[in-house]
Chain A
């Protein structure tokens, strides 16, 4: 079974600085998808960024980018120019290839990010 590990229960960053959240996963599949979701206190899960395993290029969405290391099974999230609104729980999630695996998301335990003014 696939597992996702987030080794940092909590992180903090100064406003305007850069922070990196770590995520590792375990799978025997060669084709899969990885996601970072943000969950503010409102409980609404919001997709931040996604990466398809067959793509070598790291995904980027404005201030958010990932460092995807397929061989190492690592998928870290970098937040640049951190803003107060970035404060939230961040979850790394794995989804297998739809033809060979399950449609479900497998989540890590989450990292609570605090942004200090």
Chain B
């Protein structure tokens, strides 16, 4: 079956612009996660969605970052007024359900470059 997909694969933007990154999880997966992978910080958790519960936003680095998940499926991560330090690979993952040590299935990521 299809895995987690992310778009775009690469995004180059100018400082101060807004960007939207999209994640399509595996069909039927109720949990969805966003991580950021940067050279200096490694892999960092950003946000977690589980069903209709309130998302865990504890990893979002600033109020310029937001995410939503529509219809319990597709998710969009929005970064407003991008800064050069936002340059990183943004990874999305999904898993069948929470409450278990289920594998998180990762997408190929979106490489964001802020000039």
**B is bound to A:** yes
Q: Tell me the count of chain A residues lying within 8 A, CB to CB, of chain B.
A: 23
Contact in complex: A110, B45 (CB < 8 Å):
no
A sample of 6 cross-chain residue pairs with beta-carbon separation below 8 angstroms, ordered by A number, consists of: A45-B91, A47-B103, A95-B101, A103-B50, A104-B56, A107-B35
A90 interface contact, C-beta 8 A: no
Q: How far apart are B39's CB and chain A's nearest CB, in angstroms?
A: 10
Chain A to chain B: the 8 pairs with minimum beta-carbon distance, closest first = A45-B106, A107-B43, A104-B45, A33-B101, A109-B42, A98-B99, A43-B109, A47-B103
A-B contact count (CB 8 A): 56
Residues of B within 8 A of A103 (CB): 31, 33, 48, 50, 56, 98
Residues of chain B lying within 8 A (CB to CB) of residue A95: 101
Central interface residue in A43, A46, A91, by most chain B CB within 10 Å:
A43
User: Other CB < 8 Å A-B pairs besides A43-B89, A99-B99, 5 of them?
Assistant: A45-B106, A102-B56, A103-B33, A109-B42, A110-B42
Residues of B within 8 A of A (CB): 31, 33, 35, 42-45, 48, 50, 56, 58-59, 89, 91, 93, 98-101, 103-104, 106-109, 111
Interface of A with B (CB < 8 Å)? 33, 37, 42-47, 50, 52, 91, 95, 98-99, 102-110
Listed residue (B56, B103, B104) with the most chain A CB atoms within 10 angstroms of its CB: B104
Report A-chain residues with C-beta under 8 Å of the C-beta of B98: 98, 103
Contacts of A50 in B (CB 8 A): 101, 103
Contact A105 B109, beta carbon cutoff 8 Å: no
- Known A44-B108, A45-B91, A45-B106: A105·B45 in contact at CB below 8 Å: yes
Q: Report the minimal beta-carbon distance from A112 to chain B, rounded to whole angstroms.
A: 13
Chain A residue, CB-CB nearest to B89: A43
User: Are B93 and A45 closer than 8 Å at their CB atoms?
Assistant: yes
A54 vs B107: C-alpha distance when bound (angstroms): 29
Residues of B within 8 A of A98 (CB): 98-101
Cα A43 to Cα B43 in complex, Å, equals 12
Min distance, Cβ A11 to any Cβ of chain B, angstroms: 17
